[in-house]
Structure 1
Amino acid sequence: MAGSIVSLLYNSPVIPAVRTPDDFKFALTQTTAPSIILLFGDINMLPDLLAQAKQYHKRLVLHLDLFEGVGKDKAGIQFLARLGVSAVITTKAQLAKIAREQGMIVVQRLFIMDSEAVRTGIHLLSNFKPDALEILPASVPGRVVQKLIRETGLPILAGGLIEGTEDVAEALQKGICAVSTNKRELWKLRF
Protein backbone atom coordinates (compact mmCIF):
# COMPACT_ATOMS: atom_id res chain seq x y z
CA MET A 1 0.00 0.00 0.00
CA ALA A 2 2.82 2.42 0.82
CA GLY A 3 4.04 2.38 -2.79
CA SER A 4 0.65 3.33 -4.13
CA ILE A 5 0.28 6.10 -1.54
CA VAL A 6 3.67 7.44 -2.52
CA SER A 7 2.64 7.90 -6.15
CA LEU A 8 -0.73 9.38 -5.22
CA LEU A 9 0.60 11.95 -2.77
CA TYR A 10 4.04 12.98 -3.97
CA ASN A 11 6.60 12.57 -6.72
CA SER A 12 9.36 14.70 -5.21
CA PRO A 13 10.58 15.40 -1.67
CA VAL A 14 8.18 18.35 -1.25
CA ILE A 15 4.38 18.43 -1.20
CA PRO A 16 2.95 21.93 -1.71
CA ALA A 17 0.87 23.09 1.26
CA VAL A 18 -1.19 26.10 0.24
CA ARG A 19 -2.57 28.81 2.52
CA THR A 20 -4.00 31.22 -0.08
CA PRO A 21 -5.84 31.12 -3.41
CA ASP A 22 -2.73 32.59 -5.10
CA ASP A 23 -0.56 29.79 -3.72
CA PHE A 24 -3.17 27.26 -4.84
CA LYS A 25 -3.09 28.58 -8.41
CA PHE A 26 0.71 28.58 -8.41
CA ALA A 27 0.85 24.97 -7.14
CA LEU A 28 -1.66 23.91 -9.79
CA THR A 29 0.07 25.55 -12.71
CA GLN A 30 3.75 25.64 -11.76
CA THR A 31 4.45 22.29 -10.09
CA THR A 32 4.37 18.66 -11.13
CA ALA A 33 3.20 17.58 -7.69
CA PRO A 34 0.33 15.06 -7.93
CA SER A 35 -1.21 16.40 -4.68
CA ILE A 36 -1.68 19.72 -2.96
CA ILE A 37 -2.41 20.06 0.74
CA LEU A 38 -5.19 22.60 1.21
CA LEU A 39 -4.69 24.67 4.40
CA PHE A 40 -7.41 27.24 3.73
CA GLY A 41 -10.96 27.46 2.49
CA ASP A 42 -14.52 26.71 3.28
CA ILE A 43 -17.36 24.62 1.96
CA ASN A 44 -18.47 27.37 -0.43
CA MET A 45 -15.10 27.38 -2.24
CA LEU A 46 -14.64 23.63 -2.32
CA PRO A 47 -16.51 22.71 -5.54
CA ASP A 48 -14.49 25.25 -7.51
CA LEU A 49 -11.19 24.18 -5.91
CA LEU A 50 -11.93 20.53 -6.68
CA ALA A 51 -12.81 21.40 -10.29
CA GLN A 52 -9.56 23.34 -10.73
CA ALA A 53 -7.54 20.50 -9.21
CA LYS A 54 -9.20 18.01 -11.55
CA GLN A 55 -8.47 20.23 -14.55
CA TYR A 56 -4.76 20.10 -13.66
CA HIS A 57 -4.82 16.40 -12.69
CA LYS A 58 -4.05 17.14 -9.03
CA ARG A 59 -5.43 15.56 -5.88
CA LEU A 60 -6.49 17.85 -3.06
CA VAL A 61 -5.54 16.72 0.41
CA LEU A 62 -8.03 18.61 2.53
CA HIS A 63 -6.79 19.58 6.00
CA LEU A 64 -9.96 18.90 7.96
CA ASP A 65 -8.86 20.78 11.06
CA LEU A 66 -8.42 24.04 9.14
CA PHE A 67 -11.32 23.78 6.72
CA GLU A 68 -14.46 25.78 7.56
CA GLY A 69 -18.16 25.20 7.10
CA VAL A 70 -18.44 21.44 7.31
CA GLY A 71 -19.28 19.55 10.46
CA LYS A 72 -16.42 17.69 12.06
CA ASP A 73 -18.52 14.55 12.26
CA LYS A 74 -19.66 11.57 10.17
CA ALA A 75 -22.23 13.55 8.17
CA GLY A 76 -19.64 16.22 7.33
CA ILE A 77 -17.09 13.65 6.14
CA GLN A 78 -19.75 11.86 4.08
CA PHE A 79 -20.69 15.17 2.48
CA LEU A 80 -17.04 15.84 1.56
CA ALA A 81 -16.76 12.37 0.03
CA ARG A 82 -19.88 12.97 -2.09
CA LEU A 83 -18.36 16.25 -3.31
CA GLY A 84 -15.31 14.35 -4.51
CA VAL A 85 -12.75 14.87 -1.75
CA SER A 86 -10.52 11.80 -1.93
CA ALA A 87 -7.78 12.60 0.60
CA VAL A 88 -7.69 14.26 4.02
CA ILE A 89 -5.24 15.14 6.72
CA THR A 90 -6.25 15.55 10.35
CA THR A 91 -5.04 15.37 13.93
CA LYS A 92 -8.36 13.85 14.97
CA ALA A 93 -8.36 10.05 14.93
CA GLN A 94 -12.16 9.79 14.93
CA LEU A 95 -12.36 11.88 11.74
CA ALA A 96 -9.57 9.84 10.17
CA LYS A 97 -11.50 6.62 10.83
CA ILE A 98 -14.67 8.03 9.30
CA ALA A 99 -12.76 9.28 6.26
CA ARG A 100 -11.25 5.83 5.80
CA GLU A 101 -14.76 4.30 5.92
CA GLN A 102 -15.66 6.69 3.09
CA GLY A 103 -12.77 5.39 0.98
CA MET A 104 -10.56 8.45 1.35
CA ILE A 105 -6.77 8.47 1.58
CA VAL A 106 -6.04 9.39 5.19
CA VAL A 107 -2.97 11.14 6.59
CA GLN A 108 -2.90 11.23 10.38
CA ARG A 109 -1.06 14.28 11.68
CA LEU A 110 0.85 14.09 14.97
CA PHE A 111 2.50 16.91 16.87
CA ILE A 112 5.69 15.48 18.37
CA MET A 113 6.46 17.67 21.37
CA ASP A 114 7.91 15.12 23.78
CA SER A 115 8.30 11.40 24.51
CA GLU A 116 4.73 11.16 25.76
CA ALA A 117 3.43 12.48 22.42
CA VAL A 118 5.41 9.73 20.67
CA ARG A 119 3.96 7.03 22.96
CA THR A 120 0.44 8.40 22.59
CA GLY A 121 0.80 8.58 18.80
CA ILE A 122 2.03 5.00 18.55
CA HIS A 123 -0.82 3.82 20.75
CA LEU A 124 -3.34 5.74 18.64
CA LEU A 125 -1.95 4.13 15.49
CA SER A 126 -2.14 0.64 16.98
CA ASN A 127 -5.94 0.99 16.89
CA PHE A 128 -6.20 2.56 13.44
CA LYS A 129 -3.92 2.49 10.40
CA PRO A 130 -4.07 5.58 8.20
CA ASP A 131 -2.33 5.56 4.83
CA ALA A 132 0.48 7.79 6.06
CA LEU A 133 1.61 9.67 9.12
CA GLU A 134 2.63 13.33 9.08
CA ILE A 135 4.71 14.52 12.00
CA LEU A 136 5.31 18.07 13.08
CA PRO A 137 7.78 19.62 13.30
CA ALA A 138 10.00 18.21 10.59
CA SER A 139 12.97 18.82 12.89
CA VAL A 140 12.02 15.84 15.08
CA PRO A 141 15.17 13.84 15.92
CA GLY A 142 16.08 11.00 13.55
CA ARG A 143 15.82 8.37 16.31
CA VAL A 144 12.16 9.37 16.85
CA VAL A 145 11.44 9.15 13.11
CA GLN A 146 13.01 5.69 12.99
CA LYS A 147 10.99 4.57 16.01
CA LEU A 148 7.76 5.73 14.35
CA ILE A 149 8.69 3.90 11.15
CA ARG A 150 9.45 0.68 13.07
CA GLU A 151 6.40 0.87 15.32
CA THR A 152 3.81 1.92 12.74
CA GLY A 153 5.07 0.58 9.41
CA LEU A 154 3.69 3.73 7.77
CA PRO A 155 5.27 6.17 5.33
CA ILE A 156 6.29 9.23 7.35
CA LEU A 157 5.71 12.73 6.02
CA ALA A 158 6.76 15.83 7.95
CA GLY A 159 5.86 19.49 8.06
CA GLY A 160 6.62 22.60 10.01
CA LEU A 161 9.86 24.54 10.40
CA ILE A 162 10.99 23.84 6.83
CA GLU A 163 12.89 26.98 5.83
CA GLY A 164 15.22 25.84 3.09
CA THR A 165 16.81 23.09 1.03
CA GLU A 166 18.98 21.96 3.94
CA ASP A 167 15.89 21.35 6.10
CA VAL A 168 14.38 19.16 3.40
CA ALA A 169 17.63 17.21 2.98
CA GLU A 170 17.94 16.71 6.74
CA ALA A 171 14.36 15.40 6.96
CA LEU A 172 14.96 12.94 4.13
CA GLN A 173 18.17 11.69 5.74
CA LYS A 174 16.17 10.77 8.85
CA GLY A 175 13.85 8.51 6.84
CA ILE A 176 11.02 10.94 6.16
CA CYS A 177 9.52 10.27 2.70
CA ALA A 178 8.52 13.85 1.90
CA VAL A 179 7.88 17.17 3.59
CA SER A 180 4.97 19.55 3.25
CA THR A 181 5.66 23.26 3.16
CA ASN A 182 4.05 26.50 2.09
CA LYS A 183 7.39 27.82 0.78
CA ARG A 184 6.91 28.16 -2.99
CA GLU A 185 10.64 28.23 -3.63
CA LEU A 186 10.87 24.62 -2.38
CA TRP A 187 7.94 23.15 -4.32
CA LYS A 188 10.04 22.21 -7.36
CA LEU A 189 12.95 20.84 -5.34
CA ARG A 190 14.48 17.57 -6.52
CA PHE A 191 17.27 15.47 -5.00
Structure 2
Amino acid sequence: MKKKIIQMMEDNPLIAAINSKRSFEKALTCESDIIFVLYGDVCSIVDIVDRLKEAGKIVMVDVDLIDGLATKETAVDYLKRATRADGIISSKSILLRAANARGLFTVHRFFLIDSKSYHNLPKQLGTSKADVVEVLPGAMPKVLSWVQDVVDVPIIASGLVCDKELVMTALQAGAVAISTTNMDVWEI
Protein backbone atom coordinates (compact mmCIF):
# COMPACT_ATOMS: atom_id res chain seq x y z
CA MET A 1 0.00 0.00 0.00
CA LYS A 2 2.86 2.42 0.81
CA LYS A 3 4.35 2.12 -2.69
CA LYS A 4 0.89 2.66 -4.15
CA ILE A 5 0.49 5.92 -2.20
CA ILE A 6 3.87 7.20 -3.39
CA GLN A 7 2.93 6.26 -6.96
CA MET A 8 -0.34 8.17 -6.54
CA MET A 9 1.66 11.23 -5.46
CA GLU A 10 3.85 10.96 -8.54
CA ASP A 11 0.82 10.53 -10.82
CA ASN A 12 -1.21 13.36 -9.27
CA PRO A 13 1.20 15.60 -7.32
CA LEU A 14 -1.35 18.04 -5.88
CA ILE A 15 -2.43 17.03 -2.38
CA ALA A 16 -5.43 18.85 -0.96
CA ALA A 17 -4.79 19.85 2.64
CA ILE A 18 -7.94 20.71 4.55
CA ASN A 19 -8.15 22.95 7.59
CA SER A 20 -11.83 23.89 7.77
CA LYS A 21 -15.34 22.63 7.09
CA ARG A 22 -15.36 24.66 3.85
CA SER A 23 -12.18 23.06 2.51
CA PHE A 24 -13.40 19.65 3.69
CA GLU A 25 -16.56 19.99 1.57
CA LYS A 26 -14.53 20.98 -1.49
CA ALA A 27 -12.04 18.15 -0.94
CA LEU A 28 -14.82 15.58 -1.22
CA THR A 29 -15.09 16.32 -4.95
CA CYS A 30 -11.68 17.74 -5.88
CA GLU A 31 -9.25 16.02 -8.24
CA SER A 32 -6.72 15.26 -5.49
CA ASP A 33 -6.56 11.57 -4.65
CA ILE A 34 -4.78 12.23 -1.36
CA ILE A 35 -6.12 14.48 1.37
CA PHE A 36 -4.16 15.82 4.35
CA VAL A 37 -6.49 16.50 7.29
CA LEU A 38 -5.14 19.42 9.32
CA TYR A 39 -8.06 20.06 11.65
CA GLY A 40 -10.62 18.35 13.84
CA ASP A 41 -10.90 16.88 17.29
CA VAL A 42 -11.38 13.46 18.85
CA CYS A 43 -15.15 13.82 18.44
CA SER A 44 -15.14 14.81 14.73
CA ILE A 45 -12.13 13.04 13.21
CA VAL A 46 -13.90 9.70 12.70
CA ASP A 47 -16.65 11.37 10.63
CA ILE A 48 -14.18 13.51 8.68
CA VAL A 49 -12.11 10.48 7.70
CA ASP A 50 -15.18 8.33 6.95
CA ARG A 51 -16.67 10.89 4.56
CA LEU A 52 -13.35 11.32 2.75
CA LYS A 53 -12.91 7.54 2.46
CA GLU A 54 -16.46 7.24 1.09
CA ALA A 55 -15.42 9.79 -1.56
CA GLY A 56 -12.57 7.45 -2.54
CA LYS A 57 -9.74 9.48 -1.03
CA ILE A 58 -6.50 8.38 0.61
CA VAL A 59 -6.51 10.14 3.99
CA MET A 60 -3.56 11.30 6.10
CA VAL A 61 -4.35 12.85 9.49
CA ASP A 62 -2.01 15.36 11.10
CA VAL A 63 -2.01 13.87 14.59
CA ASP A 64 -0.34 17.03 15.97
CA LEU A 65 -3.32 19.18 14.96
CA ILE A 66 -6.23 17.07 16.22
CA ASP A 67 -7.61 18.61 19.40
CA GLY A 68 -7.78 16.19 22.29
CA LEU A 69 -4.98 13.88 21.14
CA ALA A 70 -1.81 13.79 23.18
CA THR A 71 1.65 13.39 21.69
CA LYS A 72 1.78 9.77 22.78
CA GLU A 73 1.56 6.46 20.99
CA THR A 74 -2.02 6.07 22.21
CA ALA A 75 -2.98 8.84 19.79
CA VAL A 76 -1.69 6.69 16.93
CA ASP A 77 -3.53 3.67 18.34
CA TYR A 78 -6.73 5.70 18.50
CA LEU A 79 -6.44 6.87 14.89
CA LYS A 80 -5.63 3.33 13.72
CA ARG A 81 -8.55 1.73 15.59
CA ALA A 82 -11.24 4.41 15.42
CA THR A 83 -10.74 5.77 11.90
CA ARG A 84 -10.00 4.43 8.46
CA ALA A 85 -7.06 6.83 8.01
CA ASP A 86 -4.36 5.53 5.69
CA GLY A 87 -1.61 7.37 7.52
CA ILE A 88 -0.50 10.16 9.76
CA ILE A 89 1.43 13.38 9.49
CA SER A 90 3.54 14.57 12.40
CA SER A 91 6.64 16.50 13.30
CA LYS A 92 7.27 14.07 16.14
CA SER A 93 9.54 11.11 15.37
CA ILE A 94 8.15 8.91 18.13
CA LEU A 95 4.60 9.14 16.77
CA LEU A 96 5.75 8.38 13.24
CA ARG A 97 7.76 5.39 14.39
CA ALA A 98 4.69 4.08 16.25
CA ALA A 99 2.53 4.62 13.16
CA ASN A 100 5.03 2.75 10.98
CA ALA A 101 4.96 -0.17 13.41
CA ARG A 102 1.18 -0.25 13.03
CA GLY A 103 1.30 -0.30 9.23
CA LEU A 104 0.24 3.30 8.65
CA PHE A 105 1.77 5.50 5.95
CA THR A 106 3.89 8.22 7.56
CA VAL A 107 4.63 11.82 6.59
CA HIS A 108 7.37 13.50 8.63
CA ARG A 109 6.66 17.23 8.68
CA PHE A 110 9.73 19.47 8.94
CA PHE A 111 9.67 23.22 9.48
CA LEU A 112 12.99 24.33 8.01
CA ILE A 113 13.56 27.70 9.59
CA ASP A 114 17.35 27.72 9.90
CA SER A 115 20.48 25.68 9.30
CA LYS A 116 20.08 23.86 12.61
CA SER A 117 16.67 22.47 11.62
CA TYR A 118 18.07 21.52 8.21
CA HIS A 119 21.07 19.68 9.67
CA ASN A 120 18.84 17.90 12.19
CA LEU A 121 16.57 16.54 9.44
CA PRO A 122 18.55 13.34 8.60
CA LYS A 123 18.82 12.36 12.28
CA GLN A 124 15.11 12.92 12.90
CA LEU A 125 14.18 11.02 9.75
CA GLY A 126 16.48 8.18 10.82
CA THR A 127 14.53 7.93 14.06
CA SER A 128 11.06 8.20 12.53
CA LYS A 129 11.66 5.98 9.49
CA ALA A 130 8.92 7.99 7.75
CA ASP A 131 7.78 7.09 4.25
CA VAL A 132 8.00 10.69 3.00
CA VAL A 133 9.25 14.06 4.19
CA GLU A 134 7.08 17.18 4.08
CA VAL A 135 9.12 20.39 3.96
CA LEU A 136 7.67 23.70 5.07
CA PRO A 137 7.85 26.26 3.66
CA GLY A 138 7.82 24.52 0.33
CA ALA A 139 8.38 27.63 -1.78
CA MET A 140 12.17 27.36 -1.44
CA PRO A 141 13.50 25.43 -4.45
CA LYS A 142 17.15 25.64 -3.43
CA VAL A 143 16.37 24.24 0.03
CA LEU A 144 14.23 21.49 -1.50
CA SER A 145 17.19 20.42 -3.62
CA TRP A 146 19.41 20.40 -0.50
CA VAL A 147 16.87 18.20 1.29
CA GLN A 148 16.81 15.85 -1.69
CA ASP A 149 20.58 15.44 -1.27
CA VAL A 150 20.33 14.31 2.38
CA VAL A 151 17.21 12.10 2.46
CA ASP A 152 16.39 8.89 0.67
CA VAL A 153 12.59 9.22 0.74
CA PRO A 154 10.25 11.30 -1.44
CA ILE A 155 9.74 14.97 -0.57
CA ILE A 156 6.45 16.86 -0.36
CA ALA A 157 6.61 20.67 -0.54
CA SER A 158 4.09 22.48 1.62
CA GLY A 159 3.47 25.95 2.93
CA LEU A 160 3.46 29.10 0.80
CA VAL A 161 3.11 27.14 -2.45
CA CYS A 162 0.26 29.30 -3.66
CA ASP A 163 0.32 29.45 -7.45
CA LYS A 164 1.16 27.40 -10.53
CA GLU A 165 4.65 28.87 -10.86
CA LEU A 166 5.57 27.86 -7.29
CA VAL A 167 4.06 24.40 -7.80
CA MET A 168 6.15 23.86 -10.92
CA THR A 169 9.29 25.26 -9.28
CA ALA A 170 8.91 22.94 -6.27
CA LEU A 171 8.36 19.91 -8.50
CA GLN A 172 11.37 20.82 -10.63
CA ALA A 173 13.46 21.18 -7.45
CA GLY A 174 12.76 17.57 -6.54
CA ALA A 175 9.44 17.48 -4.68
CA VAL A 176 7.32 14.49 -5.64
CA ALA A 177 4.14 16.31 -4.57
CA ILE A 178 2.74 19.56 -3.24
CA SER A 179 0.44 19.84 -0.23
CA THR A 180 -1.61 23.01 0.02
CA THR A 181 -4.66 24.42 1.76
CA ASN A 182 -5.06 26.90 -1.11
CA MET A 183 -8.17 25.60 -2.85
CA ASP A 184 -7.38 27.57 -6.04
CA VAL A 185 -4.14 25.60 -6.38
CA TRP A 186 -6.10 22.32 -6.14
CA GLU A 187 -7.56 23.18 -9.54
CA ILE A 188 -4.23 23.62 -11.39
TM-score scaled to structure 1, two decimals?
0.90
Report deviation, 1:149: 2.0
* Deviation by residue 1:107-131 (Cα, 9 ceiling, x = unmatched): 0011111222111011212333211
Task: Map residues 76-87 of structure 1 onto 2, 5 A cutoff.
Answer: 76-83=75-82, 84-87=84-87
| Amino acid corresponding to residue 85 of structure 2 in structure 1 | V
TM-score (norm 2): 0.91
Which residue identity is paired with 2:13?
P
Q: Distance in 1 between matches of 2:73 and 2:128?
A: 17
- Residue number in structure 2 paired with 1:7: 7
The question of 1:22 aligning with 2:25 is answered no
Aligned residues with identical type, % of pairs: 29
For residues 77 and 56 of structure 2, the distance between their equivalents in structure 1, rounded to whole angstroms, comes to 23
Query: What SS does structure 2 have at the residue aligned with 1:99?
Result: helix
| 1:102 shift after superposition | 1.4
The structure with higher relative contact order (CA 8 Å, sep 6+) is 1
Paired with 1:172 and 1:111, the residues of 2 have a C-alpha distance of 18
Deviates more, 1:16-25 or 1:146-155: 146-155
Letter in 2 for 1:121: L
Which runs of 5 or more structure 1 residues have no equivalent in the other structure? none
Mapped partners of 2:23, 2:151: distance in 1: 33
Secondary structure at the residue paired with 1:80? helix
Tell me the SS of whatever aligns to 1:26: helix
Which shows bigger deviation, 145-154 or 53-62?
A: 145-154
Partner of 2:53: 54
Equivalent positions of 1:134-149 (< 5 A) are 134-142=134-142, 144-149=143-148
Aligned to 2:88: 88
| Partners of 1:11 and 1:33 within 8 A in 2 | no
Verify: 1:128 aligned to 2:144, yes or no.
no
The question of whether the paired residues in 2 share the 8 Å contact of 1:112 and 1:140 is answered with no
Q: Conserved in 1, the CA contact under 8 Å of 2:141 and 2:169?
A: no
Matches of 2:60 and 2:177, distance apart in 1: 14
Runs (4+) off by over 6 Å = none
Instruction: Give the corresponding residue for 2:182.
Output: 183
The aligned length equals 187
Partner Cα distance (1:10, 1:175) in 2: 11
Gaps of 5+ in 2: none
Q: Shift of residue 10 of structure 1?
A: 6.3
Using the TM superposition, give the Cα deviation of residue 76 of structure 1 relative to its aligned residue in structure 2, in angstroms: 1.9
Give the superposition deviation at 1:28. 0.9
Aligned partner letter, 1:163 = C
